[in-house]
Chains A and B, each alone.
Chain A
Amino acid sequence: MITVKELTKRYARTTAVDHITFEVQKGQIVGFLGPNGAGKTTTMRMLTCFLPPTSGAATVAGFDVLEQPLEVKKLIGYLPETPPLYPEMETAEYLTFVGKLKGLSGAELRKRVDSVCERCAIADVKTKLLGKLSKGYRQRVGLAQAIIHNPDVLILDEPTAGLDPKQINETRDLIKGLAGNHTIILSTHILPEVEQTCEQVIIINKGKVVATDSVQNLRNRARGAESMLVEVGGRNGSLDAGAVQRRLEQVAGVSRVVVKQSRDNRDTFEIESRKGFIRGDLARAVVEAGWDLNELRPAAMSLEEVFLQLTKAEEPSPEQVEVAVKGAE
């Protein structure tokens, strides 16, 4: 549905988006993930024909964003970072205006306005001035505005920014409900959001794509590592961290033991293992040596850590990305 090839946007001094390439299939929800200033908004603006790319090409449903912007714009519903609301308009009036802009009219327009109000839970503020709405409502009116013409492609720039937890959940459900018929790209820097709503993730950093994969795969990669956190306490008197470390290293399958934290008689160790399940052996080793086993849990690498690893590298080359992901395996 959306293909982006070598898309680049250069400003006078900086390169905001640097030769990014990706593809989005019809009906998918794709999370566009990256730290602030990574180039998410710029990419989205190029896809919506708001900004022309410096070089490269992007097509939406086969229409080029530079050559056939009007066709592209017809297919796209777009929620910018700040919802584009006119404070002097009422909600229903505003949605009617946007609907007209998108080419709707008459009974169909009225029907759509009612249905998006229902869907985005803004029916109760229909006759309120947009300038008087709270942040959460403004965001939802923005979302309503994006889906008013039932577009094939939805581009949402941080759709849950500024919402309270309940509204965030509702918005995510709403977005999930739109999937299937709509192809959705949403940008965010909140990881759980991607985990919960998206099927596919594109991680970008400093204008470059550092990883493209399904959420499931990324998560599997992250959890592939068998890494354990063990907190050991001294039974009576002081605890010799060195001794514990040496003892733990002797457990079969352990490849590395690192002291993570050490404070008043309780030491935490991070243990990496080559072999699969060694928790039983670890527990036994600690207890048999006469120490207390306070805690033993798998230190599953979260998507968050994968993300941090991917975006931390200064100039991540594809090889480095491989290493970063493999390292977790």
Chain B
Amino acid sequence: MRNVWIICRKELGSYFASPIAYLLLTMFGLIFGFFFWNALGYFVLMGMESQMRGQAFPMNLNEEVIRPLLSNASVIGLFFIPMITMRLFAEEKRSGTIELLTTSPIRDVEIIIGKWLAALTLYACMLLFTALNFAFLFKYGNPDWKPLAIGYLGLLLQAGGLLAIGTFISTLTKNQIIAGAATFGVCLLLWVLEWVSGYETATWAQVLAYMSVITHFESFSKGVLDTKDAVFYLTVIFLGLFLTARSMESLRWRS
């Protein structure tokens, strides 16, 4: 456990010593802020319209603002995750520092979990920035906080799974760009798989749609903690980290 913490601290140090962390925080914050602004603008317009017509629409901040925003955040996340994970192992392999880690008296799994935790922490920091937007919502509105908390939990779980996959892909190459591009491709694929359910109801389409990370975010965005979806994300996390461990082992036999 101590070793996991040592690796995690070192990785976080690397993120924040380079511009990458600040760039990601800024971009994510900006884009999310823009979405927030849009959602709020739309919400205000709806409110005015309903007043003008003299009929009371059921207006709910959770339904009209928070839910679409969480869904958007989950998709924006897909674009940022490759940038977080691409350097994790590729960089160490390129510079040879992987030799330091693997000849130190720590286990592979401690290295892997440490790095993954650091990536997840950086993503959590990015989410923390978005919480600023919601803070305004709570100051001037009266939304329910529980669905929001569950939504954030869902975002973290989803990111955890994709980060684990990204970590795995990073062990496969010495080239950060390749690792990043491949991770981006996989993230994108795991997003669009859901689309097949729009026109096809056969079993294969259901299976494909089930594999999409977006499908499972649906319940979280509604503020519902569905065990089935949580288990899906945990499975992806486990699978990603497991593959990383296997890949590191095979790296030794091959290199």
Contacts and interface: CB of A to CB of B under 8 A. Distances in A.
Task: Say whether A associates with B.
Answer: yes
Interface of A: 45, 48-52, 70-71, 73-74, 76, 78, 80-82, 84-89, 93, 97-98, 100-103, 145
A103 B10 CA distance: 15
What DSSP secondary structure best describes chain B's contact surface?
Answer: helix
A88 B6 contact: no
A51 B99 CA distance: 10
Nearest to A142: B100
B103 A50 contact: yes
Interface in B183-237: none
A80 B96 contact: yes
Interface in B58-114: 95-107
A73 to B, nearest CB: 4
B102 A101 contact: no
Q: Shortest 9 CB-CB distances between A and B: which pairs?
A: A84-B100, A73-B105, A88-B17, A101-B104, A84-B97, A74-B105, A48-B103, A80-B99, A82-B96
A52 B96 contact: no
B141 interface: no
A235 to B, nearest CB: 63
Interface residues of B, number: 23
B55 interface: no
25 contacts: A50-B103, A50-B252, A51-B255, A52-B253, A71-B105, A73-B103, A76-B103, A80-B99, A84-B98, A85-B95, A86-B14, A86-B97, A87-B95, A88-B14, A89-B14, A89-B17, A93-B13, A97-B6, A98-B104, A100-B6, A101-B6, A101-B100, A101-B101, A101-B106, A102-B104
A83 to B, nearest CB: 8
Contact of A84 (B17, B95, B105): B95
A147 to B, nearest CB: 14
B18 interface: yes
